[in-house]
Amino acid sequence: MTMTNDRSAFYKNRQVAGYADVPFEEKQRLIDLVKADMRFPDYLYGCYECGICVAACPSARFYDFSPRRIAQAAARDDTELMYQQMQEDVWECSQCFSCVRCPRGNNPGGIITVLREVAVNAGLASAREALEGYSRIIYKIMSTGTQVSPDMLQPDAFPDWGPEVKDVSDNLDMWRRALPPETLHTTSTGWDVDEKTLLELYLIWFHTGALDMIAEVDEGLHMILQEVMEERLEDAGVEV
Amino acid sequence: MPIPVEALLKKKEHFERGPHDRRSEDFHHELFELEEQGEWIVQRAPEPIVPVNTKFGNVKKVPKAHLWHHKSCGQCGHIPGYSTSIFWVMRKLGYDYTDPRDQTSCTAWNYYASATSNAAAQAAVAIRNFATAYESGFFPLIHCGTSYGHYKEVREELLKHPELRAQVREIMGKLNKPMVMPEEIVHYSEWFYALKDEIAAKQVRDFSGIAATVHPACHYYKLVEGDAIYDADVYGGQRTAIVTGVAEALGAEVRNYSTWFDCCGFGFRHILVQRDFTRSFATLRKIERMKEEADPDVVLTHDTGCVTTLDKSQFAAMAHGRNVGVPVMSEAQFAALAMGAHPYKVCQLHWHSADYRPLLEKMGIDWEAAWAEFQQDLKRLEAGEKQYLTWDDVG
């Protein structure tokens, strides 16, 4: 009997999974970025396959997803599998961190956060696809300093939330004025955020490179944001 | 060989986690050491303080007053009765606070949904907010469960990684803000738990006939698990005590169900762009289980995402004939109602989806009359008599 190193049977067919294959060196480059992340050693202490994370995981109930496989692939340094997970699995995680009940103290959800960041930074099509329809939130954060706002409650955006969404949308201005807290009379922002604070948030994203990530998710959005915010910074006399 | 049943049962009566658990390490040591080394300012929790127990036996300080309300995007944006109730209860108990305009979102919803951020950006946002609170002289009180869990994560990362601290310090320098970490990161539900007796003392509505199920937020107690309130008198110290402690203090009957530890299914990204997952999980694993096993009058929770998910997921499920239909609210709104708050002017229940009217009836509240009163107020606003409803208007 001959032993074979052919492990192709273990991996999903790339054409079926819907992304073109890349050279191993490119996969290694991306996985090395994951392992070099400051948070990575805090998230992985070795996995003994108990599966407690899978039992606790909400995403594992509905998707072909397993936090155990995430931890295992990382612990085994399996570049091929980690790359596949980066392409196919990471966006199914609900980031609840129920998996942190791991008896070893691993954090598969945390490993996924890092995998996702590398995927976004690398401009992977799978990341862009997963975040399609999401970029309005990024725009909301950067232009208002809050992540969601009352005027996002439109019946065509949330038809499954029931008829009350239409009531909110129809009465928005009045219902917001009928809120006692003074900062909540806004409609296009969660609460009233002052200009200086908004600019500080933008500068944080600018200086940490988070802004560059937006360009990978939605180039058009990035351009608009840059234009709008640079004008506001100029008006405020802040040089970047 | 006989099984030592008696010995095992005795252990279950009173569950103790001791200082021998490796996870009992108190982060305060490192926190204050870094202050001594000049790495940051630790903002002390102001008196008066209520000391509470956390999971591995460390004591946490919950300040009663002088609080800087770190607001929640989802609460303020979509369920504003939640934030309003937090302020209202604090006002009724007579504790001063500030509601800042110089607060940014924690941006953690975005971080967990899209990962369009990084450790440095998240830490810098946290420190910027903490520094702003410090400069105001008020101590931060975190409204959202995810903000809270995320800030605990950020604290861990900052404690552990000098290179991250250096990066954040550089950015704070550019913003002309000091490096500040509060002595405690306090969630509003911890404040409600710490003050549950004062809240109960002001109770005017009888909740003895109200049955509730409690859903604890994953990010509250699963992230940095040691820093969460546990109380030997609540669930025998085996589950986190927030929300339940308040509901019991108000005389409500808290009922158990098999999926207590399950997530609500919010999913951060899922609730926005893949909501079939969210509503399926919320319905199948939480609401239906609660209804079948506990038949509650209300579901109580203490996080923005959880209230949103459990409340809003029921409509579509109802269209599919699922066993749903139970109102969902925060313990803040529940406590406010107990203290006599107006269901619409304060608790703003008209922003909620699942029908809360049977619950209000059980609480002895004439919701039709209450709605008529609220409509009157809206008419006054429409007529231009006043621009906004104020605290004086809502009682």
* DSSP state letters, B323-366: S----EEEHHHHHHHHTT--TTTTS-GGG--S--HHHHHHTT--
Residue of A nearest to B79 (CA): A150
CB B103 within 8 A of CB B128: no
Q: Do B231 and B124 fall within a single domain?
A: no
Neighbour-count burial of A127, counting CB atoms closer than 10 A to its CB (0-12 exposed, 13-18 middle, 19+ buried): buried
CB B246 within 8 A of CB B268: no
Tell me the HSE value of A128 on the side-chain side, using a 13 A CA sphere.
Answer: 13
Between chains, do A95 and B71 touch, taking CB under 8 Å as contact? Answer: no
Nearest CB partner across the interface for A192, out of B80, B87, B101 = B101
B261 at the A interface (CB within 8 A)? yes
Single residue among B125, B159, B188 that ends a domain in this structure = B188
Neighbour-count burial of B2, counting CB atoms closer than 10 A to its CB (0-12 exposed, 13-18 middle, 19+ buried): exposed
Q: Is residue B382 part of a domain?
A: no
Residue-number span of the structural domain to which B37 is assigned: 28-188
Residue of B nearest to A135 (CA): B114
Query: How far is B59 from A15, CA to CA, in rounded Å?
Result: 55
Single residue among B154, B188, B222 that ends a domain in this structure = B188
Looking at the DSSP bridge assignments, the partners of residue B214 are B300
Q: Do B69 and B119 fall within a single domain?
A: yes
pLDDT higher than 80, residue B19: no
Nearest CB partner across the interface for A147, out of B107, B156, B388 = B107
Split into its structural domains, chain B has a count of: 2
Q: Do B67 and B125 fall within a single domain?
A: yes
Number of C-beta neighbours around residue A119 at 10 A = 26
Between chains, do B128 and A160 touch, taking CB under 8 Å as contact? Answer: no
Q: Is residue B387 part of a domain?
A: no
Tracing tokens 């600019």 back to the chain, one arrives at A199
Query: How far is B351 from A171, CA to CA, in rounded Å?
Result: 11
- What are the chain A neighbours of B170 within 8 Å (beta carbons)? 207
Between chains, do A59 and B84 touch, taking CB under 8 Å as contact? Answer: no
Q: Do B212 and B331 fall within a single domain?
A: yes
How far A150 CA sits from the closest chain B CA (Å)?
5
Looking at the DSSP bridge assignments, the partners of residue B390 are none
Average pLDDT in chain B: 95
Query: How far is B273 from B260, CA to CA, in rounded Å?
Result: 26
Q: Do B179 and B274 fall within a single domain?
A: no
Q: Is residue B20 part of a domain?
A: no
Angstrom distances, CA of residue B288 to CA of B291, B323, B338: 5, 6, 26
pLDDT higher than 70, residue B241: yes
For residue A238, the model assigns a pLDDT of: 87
CB A179 within 8 A of CB B87: no
For residue B18, the model assigns a pLDDT of: 64
Q: Do B242 and B349 fall within a single domain?
A: yes
- What are the chain A neighbours of B343 within 8 Å (beta carbons)? none
How far B352 CA sits from the closest chain A CA (Å)?
7
Query: How far is B168 from B188, CA to CA, in rounded Å?
Result: 26
Is residue A19 very low, low, confident or very high in pLDDT (cuts 50, 70, 90)?
A: confident
- Whether the link from the prior residue into B48 is cis, omega within 30° of 0, is yes
Tracing tokens 């002088």 back to the chain, one arrives at B66
Between chains, do A96 and B101 touch, taking CB under 8 Å as contact? Answer: no
Average pLDDT over residues B31-51: 98
Between chains, do A168 and B351 touch, taking CB under 8 Å as contact? Answer: yes
**pLDDT single digits (tens) A41-66:** 999 998 999 999 999 999 999 999 99
Which position has the higher pLDDT, B166 or B23? Answer: B166
Q: Do B215 and B143 fall within a single domain?
A: no
For residue A132, the model assigns a pLDDT of: 86
E strand map for B112-205: 139-142, 180-182, 186-187
Among candidates B80, B109, B71, which has minimal Cα distance to B307?
B80
Average pLDDT over residues B308-322: 96
Rg (CA), chain A: 22
Q: Is residue B128 part of a domain?
A: yes
**pLDDT single digits (tens) A144-198:** 999 999 999 999 999 999 999 999 999 999 999 999 999 999 999 999 999 999 9
For residue B339, the model assigns a pLDDT of: 98
Q: Do B273 and B328 fall within a single domain?
A: yes
Stated pTM of the model: 0.95
Q: pLDDT over 70 for what percent of chain A? A: 92
Is residue A16 very low, low, confident or very high in pLDDT (cuts 50, 70, 90)?
A: very low
Q: Do B236 and B180 fall within a single domain?
A: no
Is residue B14 very low, low, confident or very high in pLDDT (cuts 50, 70, 90)?
A: low
Average pLDDT over residues A117-144: 92
Token digits for B172?
A: 């704070």
- Highest mean pLDDT of the ranges A4-18, B21-35, B226-240, B330-344: B330-344
Size of interface A-B (CB pairs under 8 A): 266
User: Degrees (nearest 5) of the Cα angle A88, A160, B310?
Assistant: 80
pLDDT higher than 90, residue B318: yes
Q: Is residue B21 part of a domain?
A: no
pLDDT higher than 60, residue A10: no
pLDDT higher than 70, residue B13: no
Token digits for A224?
A: 């608009």
For residue A133, the model assigns a pLDDT of: 84
Tell me how far apart the 2 most distant CA atoms of chain A are, in Å: 79
Query: How far is B338 from B328, CA to CA, in rounded Å?
Result: 15
Nearest CB partner across the interface for A160, out of B104, B279, B393 = B279
CB B37 within 8 A of CB B181: no
Query: How far is B243 from B301, CA to CA, in rounded Å?
Result: 7
- What are the chain B neighbours of A65 within 8 Å (beta carbons)? none
Complex ipTM, two decimals?
Answer: 0.93
CB B174 within 8 A of CB A207: yes
**pLDDT single digits (tens) A94-122:** 999 999 999 999 999 999 999 999 999 99
Q: How far is CA B267 from the centre of its chain?
A: 17
CB A88 within 8 A of CB A27: no
Average pLDDT over residues B290-314: 98
- What are the chain B neighbours of A204 within 8 Å (beta carbons)? 121, 124-125, 128, 171, 175
- What are the chain B neighbours of A133 within 8 Å (beta carbons)? 272-273
How far B180 CA sits from the closest chain A CA (Å)?
16
Query: How far is A221 from A135, CA to CA, in rounded Å?
Result: 8
**Pairing mode of beta strands B59-63, B49-53:** antiparallel
**Pairing mode of beta strands B139-142, B59-63:** unpaired
Q: Do B142 and B181 fall within a single domain?
A: yes
CATH code, domain with B243: 3.40.50.11810
Q: Do B84 and B148 fall within a single domain?
A: yes
**Cβ within 8 Å of residue A235, ≥6 positions away:** none
DSSP one-letter code for B388: S
Q: pLDDT over 70 for what percent of chain B? A: 96
Which position has the higher pLDDT, B6 or B355? Answer: B355
Token digits for B246?
A: 């308040």
Angstrom distances, CA of residue A175 to CA of A168, A172, B116, B219: 7, 5, 33, 30
Query: How far is B223 from B228, CA to CA, in rounded Å?
Result: 9
pLDDT higher than 80, residue A71: yes
Q: Do B230 and B107 fall within a single domain?
A: no
Q: Is residue B359 part of a domain?
A: yes
Q: Is residue B194 part of a domain?
A: no
Between chains, do B391 and A180 touch, taking CB under 8 Å as contact? Answer: yes
Among candidates B279, B156, B283, B148, which has minimal Cα distance to B218?
B148
E strand map for B46-205: 49-53, 59-63, 67-70, 97-98, 139-142, 180-182, 186-187
Query: How far is B347 from B88, CA to CA, in rounded Å?
Result: 9
Question: To probe the interface with B, which of A57, A128, A208 has the most B CB atoms within 10 Å?
Answer: A208
Between chains, do A117 and B388 touch, taking CB under 8 Å as contact? Answer: no
Token digits for A31?
A: 């996985």
- Hey, where are the domains in chain A? 15-130, 135-235
Average pLDDT in chain A: 92
